[in-house]
Structure formats: structure tokens, C-alpha cells
Chain A
Amino acid sequence: GEDVEQSLFLSVREGDSSVINCTYTDSSSTYLYWYKQEPGAGLQLLTYIFSNMDMKQDQRLTVLLNKKDKHLSLRIADTQTGDSAIYFCAEYGARTGNQFYFGTGTSLTVIP
């Protein structure tokens, strides 16, 4: 399998920004994704970025892509308690065939 790496835990105070980081494996990956999973639920697609982009912003979410270092980050502005969840990055591209490869997930805890 492929190794997409993420830190396991992150804690932030409500109102602060959260930055979740991911290192992926395939520099030719076409699509890179961020998903959110709440306890006992499936994954919810938050946003994704094409590999020919450096940044994508969607309301409180900002995705940054550094292709040289194969590094992807998700910034959540004005983090709320409802943002507490596990966040997964994933990649999809030529080398992965028709498969998505997921990181281990980062558990975000927002402290009121």
C-alpha cells in the first residue's frame, strides 16, 4: 500500500486557526482531498485540489499544496467546537490507478 502521513492529534482553542498537515506519496497524484469524519459516521468530502494548483479557498477552509515537498495542508479559520472531528487527507492519480489512498487521520479537538 501507499503511505500518506498525518499527525494523529491536534488541539486548538475555539476561535483560533487550525492547520492540519499531510505528506503524500505520489508527486504525480492528480487530485488531493480533505475529508471530515465525525464519531460513528462516514467520511464527508470537505474540499479537494488539483495538482496544478497551489492553493484553494472555500469559506473558512484553505488548502495549500507544495508539490515539491509533497505536502498538503488544510487551514480552518475561526475554528468552532463543531469542527472537532477526524480529518483525513487522500490522494488519487496515475500511480494509484483507480484507487484513493488515505492518511491515518488527524483528530482535531477544539477547546471552548
Chain B
Amino acid sequence: DGGITQSPKYLFRKEGQNVTLSCEQNLNHDAMYWYRQDPGQGLRLIYYSQIVNDFQKGDIAEGYSVSREKKESFPLTVTSAQKNPTAFYLCASRDSSYEQYFGPGTRLTVT
């Protein structure tokens, strides 16, 4: 089956710890995206990558970092510098027809 996987579905961390969220796709898409979703708000773009070894900041990149060493993988690290990290994180990829597909999401809770 082709698709996007995110793991884990739920993640709990203590304040001050870095945490890495996994995103893998086997759709052979070049472009991948990370979004953050908070209650009552739309999706806000954290980082995106158009191609391997390249990525761009989105609207709310502060406190986050990414890497794109392989086409299939686009992990997101939430650092201790992110002031309000508790949120639902969504990874997506885009095909050449500009259709964007989403993973199931990871709910991160930081206490």
C-alpha cells in the first residue's frame, strides 16, 4: 500500500527535552511538508522540502528543525526552544499534479 506514515500516534515529553517526529512516504513524491494544528485553527506550515537535501522555513519554523537526507523521510525535531510545543502535527507530501496527501498525524503533549 502506498501512503504516508507518522509515528508514534501519541507522544509525551517533559519540558526541556527535544523530540523527533517521524514521517515516511512511499509515494515517490519529491515535496514534503510539516504542519502544526491547534484547536480552532487551520494548519500552519512549519517546514517544507521540495527535494532531497533542501528544505525551507514555513510561517512558524522557530523552535523546530528538519532534515531531508532521503526522499522517503522527512523527520521533524521539536526543540526545547519551541515555547508551546503541545499540538497535533501533520506531515504531507505532494505529487506532480499538486495533490497533497496527509499522514495520520502525531499528537505531542509536553508537560
Specify which of B33, B56, B59, B100 is in contact with A1 (CB 8 Å cutoff): B59
Specify which of A45, A98, A99, A102 is in contact with B42 (CB 8 Å cutoff): A102
Number of B residues near A (Cβ < 8 Å) is 27
Chain A residues whose CB sits within 8 angstroms of the CB of B43 once the complex forms? 43, 88, 100, 102
B99 touches A88 (CB 8 A): no
Question: Is A8 positioned at the interface, with any CB of B under 8 Å from its CB?
Answer: yes
Report Cα–Cα, A98/B107, bound state, in Å: 26
- How many pairs, one residue from A and one from B, have CB atoms within 8 Å of each other in the complex? 55
Considering only residues 4-56 of chain A, those with a C-beta below 8 Å from chain B are 4, 8, 30-31, 33, 35, 40-45, 48
A104 touches B40 (CB 8 A): yes
Most A CB contacts (10 A, CB to CB) among B35, B41, B100 go to B100
Report Cα–Cα, A4/B43, bound state, in Å: 11
Chain B residues whose CB sits within 8 angstroms of the CB of A102 once the complex forms? 35, 42-43
Number of A residues near B (Cβ < 8 Å) is 24
B100 touches A45 (CB 8 A): yes
A41 touches B33 (CB 8 A): no
Contact with B along A97-112 (1 / 0, CB 8 A): 0111011110000000
Output the nearest chain B residue to A33 by Cβ-Cβ distance: B100
Chain A residues whose CB sits within 8 angstroms of the CB of B104 once the complex forms? 41-42
Specify which of A31, A45, A104 is in contact with B41 (CB 8 Å cutoff): A104
Chain A residues whose CB sits within 8 angstroms of the CB of B52 once the complex forms? none
Specify which of A4, A8, A41 is in contact with B105 (CB 8 Å cutoff): A41
Considering only residues 71-112 of chain A, those with a C-beta below 8 Å from chain B are 88, 90, 92, 98-100, 102-105
B42 touches A42 (CB 8 A): no
Given the contacts A48-B99, A99-B48, A100-B100, A40 and B42 also touching, CB distance less than 8 Å = no
Q: Can you report 19 A-B residue pairs in the complex whose CB atoms are below 8 A from each other?
A: A1-B59, A4-B42, A8-B40, A30-B98, A31-B98, A41-B104, A42-B4, A42-B92, A42-B103, A42-B105, A43-B92, A48-B98, A88-B42, A88-B43, A90-B100, A98-B50, A98-B56, A102-B42, A105-B41
